[in-house]
Structure formats: structure tokens, C-alpha cells
Amino acid sequence: MRTNLFRTDLPQYRERTVVTLEDDSHELVAAFIQGLCHLWRKGFGYPKLGVMLLDLSFKSNRQLTLDETPQTEAEAMRSEQLMATIDKLNRELGLSTI
């Protein structure tokens, strides 16, 4: 997130944050909002905002952290069904999918 570098007459601000997340679109949106809330400063104009996806890997290769517990099969199935529905809606609305 940064202000307009060419507007030297305005206050300048530039910052970034890293948010760890899993593979669900709703988690991506929540992570975006969390990062935005962390970075946002009142009184600045922001002509540019970017999101970078780093260290992407297949779900089957994901290793749990020490404080995580595996999802039950029912939870995993529900999450996959939810993501399939969201992806279908995005396609029908002409929105890009993750």
C-alpha cells in the first residue's frame, strides 16, 4: 500500500504486511481485510494497492503448524463444497476465481 510518489506536495506513506492463510477464497478476503486494517492510515490518499500471493502449493502438500488440528472429514467436505459454490457464482458473475 502506498501513496502517490509523484505528489510530493501530499503526505507520503508506504507499508506492507504478510498474512498467512489457507486455500479458501473467504480466507483470502478475510486476510486482505486484516492486512488493510493493519496498514490503513487516515489522511493519506492511496492510488495503488497490491496483493501478492506467495509460497503457493497444493493442498495435499500442506503441513499443519504445531497449534493446528486437522479438519474432520465432514469439515473438509463442507469447506470444499462452499468453495465450489463460490467459484461457480464467480464464474456466473464473470468474476475471476482464485
Domain boundaries, the chain: 1-55, 70-97
pTM of the model: 0.41
Q: How is residue 61 written as a grid cell? A: 502438500
DSSP 35-74: HHHHH--TT---SB------S---GGG----TT--PPPHH
DSSP secondary structure code for residue 6 in this structure? T
Task: Give the pLDDT confidence score for residue 97 in this predicted structure.
Answer: 47
Residue pLDDT tens, the chain, 98 long: 888 888 889 989 888 877 666 666 677 777 788 888 888 888 888 887 777 777 766 766 767 677 766 677 787 778 788 888 888 887 888 765 44
In Å, the largest CA–CA distance within the chain is 57
Identify whether the C-beta of residue 15 lies closer than 8 Å to the C-beta of residue 39. Answer: yes
